[in-house]
Amino acid sequence: MIVKEAKGYSGRAYVIIPKDSDDLFALRRTIKRGDLVLGQTTRIIKHVKQYGRPEKGDRVKVMISLRVEDVSLYDSVDRLRVTGIITDTNNENVSKGSHHSMTVRINDTIMIEKDTKWHDTEIGILTRSGISEEFVLVAIDTQEAAVARVSGTHLEMIPNTYSGQSGKRYQSARKSNPSIENFFSDVAGTIQTIKKNIQDNYSSRIVIFGPGEAKRKLLNYLNAAKSQFEKEQISVVEGVDVAGEDGIYVFLRSTALKEVMSSSKISSVSSILDEVLKLISKGENKYALGTKEVSEAASMRNIKSVIFSDAIFKSNYDEETIMNLLNLIELHGGMLYAVDSSTDLGLRVSSLGGIVGLLRYSKL
């Protein structure tokens, strides 16, 4: 989470960019009824003709200031819905005083203004959710490459880049293979595009893997382009012999993830989930699955860490009950991790009831 105090508001307003699902959860806990939220949204603008009905209208992007009436996670941990009354806008066709729902997603920029100075506890919730390192993953062979960005527990996949190589060890007499250097240049350009979205105060690491020697050739190519990649730590990982988008997902399920990305949130979540599955296989009762079991453990201050996905909001419990449960867990020292369906981890948590808890001691 990027949190910067807005100038000229005497501590009443902060500019915020959520970087993963945990950040949206933190925003859900800090945005209150009556706050002003400034951000970009879309709205249908209808043009009324004289003596005729309004046209169907066009959906356009507008900047609005919204007086908050309600905030929710919108049945998902990677989208936050803020509902309220429009107090200001940059488009004269948008009526002030009308109701509107703004959707805040990962990497969106918003400003939150409160009537009084922000409390230290509210700032603490936002800053505790912050991450300082992001990862760029490259799964490559001589024919294709996929590049992905891992921010917290969220995965952003870029479509495959293809080299046009035939895959043969010899070149055809009629038509030679396209230059592999051009292929590496395209991959490097994709990495550069992702880097532009990584904040200057964040560190980034590039992790390259895949079958054959293409990964090492790409490493040499990137090292040669020192002016573009001088700040990044670049490493090559062995043991993941799949390229393209499938290679990214294989890496995120491999043991190499924990070795190379040990400091990342996604590695922590993977370790917790593996530990829970190990306890299940051994028959040890130091875990809780589903909202009911986690609630019982939380009431006894027995939650060490918990992972939850969007499936928790599709249970029989209302969102306010779930929020109170998660706040109680954090109050008693438990760690909270939100995961979305962009990774295999989110799907695994959803299949286990939407929420998984690692306990401090065995259940009775």
Q: For the whole model, what pTM was predicted?
A: 0.77
Q: What is the pLDDT of residue 255?
A: 87
Q: What is the pLDDT of residue 174?
A: 43
Residues 64 and 96: beta-carbon distance below 8 Å: no
Residues 350 and 294: beta-carbon distance below 8 Å: no
Q: Are strands 133-140 and 203-209 parallel, antiparallel or unpaired?
A: parallel
CA quadruple 32, 38, 40, 45: dihedral positive or negative?
positive
3-state secondary structure the chain: CEEEECCCCCCCEEEEECCCHHHHHHHHHHCCCCCEEEEEEEEEECCECCCCCECCCEEEEEEEEEEEEEEECCCCCCEEEEEEEEEEECCCCCCCCCEEEEEEECCCCEEEECCCCCCHHHHHHHHHCCCCEEEEEEEECCCEEEEEEEECCEEEEEEEEECCCCCCCCCCCCCCCCCHHHHHHHHHHHHHHHHHCCCCCCEEEEEEECCCCHHHHHHHHHHHCHHHHCCCEEEECCCCCCCHHHHHHHHHCCCHHHHHCCCCHHHHHHHHHHHHHHHHHHCCCCEEEHHHHHHHHHHCCCEEEEEECHHHHHCCCCHHHHHHHHHHHHHCCCEEEECCCCCHHHHHHHHCCCEEEEECCCCC
Residues 98 and 85: beta-carbon distance below 8 Å: yes
Residues 47 and 57: beta-carbon distance below 8 Å: yes
- C-alpha span between 51 and 289 (Å, rounded): 62
Six token digits for residue 110: 């918003």
Ramachandran angles phi, psi of 220, nearest 5°: -65, -40
Ramachandran angles phi, psi of 320, nearest 5°: -65, -40
Q: What is the pLDDT of residue 178?
A: 62
**What are the chain's domains?**
2-128 (2.30.30.870), 133-262 (3.30.420.60), 266-359 (3.30.1330.30)
Mean per-residue pLDDT pooled into runs of 10, the chain (364 residues): 87 89 87 93 69 63 91 80 92 84 90 91 78 84 93 86 69 56 91 75 82 93 77 85 94 88 86 92 92 93 92 81 89 88 85 92 82
Total residues belonging to the chain: 364
Helix axis angle, 290-299 to 319-331, nearest 10°: 40
- C-alpha span between 314 and 148 (Å, rounded): 29
Q: What is the pLDDT of residue 260?
A: 86
Q: What is the pLDDT of residue 314?
A: 77
Q: What is the pLDDT of residue 75?
A: 64
- C-alpha span between 112 and 17 (Å, rounded): 11
Q: What is the pLDDT of residue 317?
A: 81
